[in-house]
Structure 1
């Protein structure tokens, strides 16, 4: 598609935050797969969806419609699910947000997850039964930390947690694994032998005390994808993790001496994203979920695309209509994470 085919309203859409444009897209673009731009400033062409249920995973928060990603990322998550269940004593993954159908900034919740190469994995194993749609919407954010948020709770933490995170970090194509500073400290204290070489990939960050976050390197040949700077060989177990813990240490709330000025967050506009993201927005959609659902990897999974048609508003629209622009996922109840620091 030429740039001339893109409506001027899309190319000059800086009157509208990019998250509103990408948040309304319910299916991916019918284009060759490309992760475009940076993890926190980009979009996704030709994304695919991980099946709602697999042999070793269940996707949660279906109303968010964020189970889309680069095929390489989806394959990696499925591999982690299968291997951690077979070898690490983990009952199966509960998979949270990956990306929106066309990536891009989200209506709520994340600064990253924009190019289909980030995925959130819950630190609670999936239950043995297949969860209903409603159960998936209210999965508790079960922290593995003590109440002081400074240390891991030994009653909630197991060696299986450690093995799961180590496995995720062990994949050469994984760039970083983000976790709460207290979990990072736990890994620093307990990992031994060759596993300690993986500590440089394990990065402390706010909020990640009930899930961890996998970030994958740009796939080979993705010339328009921008990798994050390599974390280097430092384990991050000394001064760095101590400084992070000091940042999250609970402190008394001081009474303000004068009214606090509320600063509105700046929204990413289309002009901040790669030019190709306007083409992604304007591209034709795949015509069905079946066309977009991933079926690769060593153990292909075939899931009826109408399995949740009675419960899932996305599936209802897809099953009943060719107009994929009519559904906007409900976002009002999604909790907002703490602001991330600039250096991850």
Structure 2
């Protein structure tokens, strides 16, 4: 990576790779990538980085097309959490995300049978596209929380590689199964009630179950969105941190609690609509290149 950093510095200009503390706020402030760098698959470059950039924390771009300057590592083990799958090196995020995870883990520890949280993928040290898996998780504002109750926080590194989460879905996600508990409801509610949270992705049956069970304030349900998968973990996405102009936000969820939409998902699972004969075949998604990302992401890679 040292050779890459040197070439990036030449492309960007020496000023962009000085002490690495600050980066331009606009792509117009940086020279255009050369033809070689712009076509490189970004996942290989970001996936090779083992540590954060020595820059001020800053989200650059969007959740699925961006990167992270000055990332912070969630400690592997804390009083109410453990980071899982440490070999992936994905327990990095923006400081606000790390603070959120720690706060949510304390709330989870108050639930019966939970000592805290098992934390799945967050972001790579400098964000960006991942070598495997997620299309999002690129900007340091996404985190996966395991559905498995964290009943022991003394797991070894080896155990964290072997242990699996548990699935909470039944009937292909139309309903919850017997492993669902009121604790899951309360932990997701605590996450959605945090003003820093933009939305939470969970399988449709879980959203429908929470809609049926909630008897108090229902405003938090708006942030809980049904989506495919997400039955081994729920995915929390945070808002852009205040004052970070380079962060690209997602549109807010539609008004209302979203329970009718969740029920529609459930009915479509139970009674799938017939395929549209006129629908075009799906187009395979190509890998993101450096040219697809905000220009500032090259400075994040180059900073040493």
1:126 aligns with 2:150: yes
The structure where helix makes up a greater share of residues is 2
**TM-score, normalisation: structure 2:** 0.83
Maintained 8 Å contact 1:11/1:270 = no
Deviations 1:159-197 (A, max 9, x none): 111110000000011110110011111111111221x11
Q: Give RMSD over aligned pairs.
A: 2.6
SS in 2 for 1:86: coil
Alignment-derived partner of residue 22 in structure 1: 46
- Within the candidate set 194, 199, 222, 1:176 is matched to 199
Q: Is the 8 A contact 2:53 2:126 kept in 1?
A: yes
Q: What is the Cα deviation at residue 264 of structure 1?
A: 4.2
- Deviation per CA, 1:206-262: give whole Å up to 9, x if none: 110111011111111111001111114221111x223323454587xx9xxxxxx99
Scaled by the length of structure 1, what TM-score is found?
Answer: 0.74
Q: Secondary structure at the match of 1:30?
A: coil
Are 2:205 and 1:205 aligned?
no
Contact kept in structure 1, 2:113 and 2:151, CA below 8 Å: no
Task: Structure 1 unaligned segments of length 5 or more: list them.
Answer: 255-260, 285-344
**How far does the alpha carbon of each residue in 1:300-328 deviate from its partner, in whole angstroms, 9 at most, with x for none?**
xxxxxxxxxxxxxxxxxxxxxxxxxxxxx
| Match for residue 180 of structure 2 among 150, 157, 162 | 157
Among 274, 277, 281, the alignment partner of 2:297 is 277
Q: Counterparts of 1:87 and 1:127 in 2: how far apart (Å)?
A: 11
In structure 2, distance between residues paired with 1:34 and 1:129 = 31
Match of 1:229 among 238, 251, 259: 251
Answer whether contact 1:17 1:268 (CA < 8 A) is retained: yes
**CA distance in 2 between partners of 1:90 and 1:76 (Å):** 18
Number of aligned residues: 275
The answer to whether 1:266 aligns with 2:286 is yes
- 1:1-344 alignment, distance < 5 Å: 3-5=12-14, 11-12=34-35, 13-86=37-110, 90-153=114-177, 155-194=178-217, 196-238=218-260, 240-249=261-270, 264-284=284-304
**Deviation by residue 1:244-303 (Cα, 9 ceiling, x = unmatched):** 23454587xx9xxxxxx996431111111111001001111xxxxxxxxxxxxxxxxxxx
Verify the 8 A CA contact 1:11 1:278 in the aligned structure 2. Answer: no
Distance 1:11 1:99, change over 3 A: farther
Runs of 5+ in structure 2 lacking a partner?
1-8, 18-30, 276-280
**Map of 2:278 onto structure 1:** none
- Give the whole-Å Cα distance in 1 for the aligned partners of 2:172 and 2:94: 38
Q: Tell me, what secondary structure is at the counterpart of 1:134?
A: helix
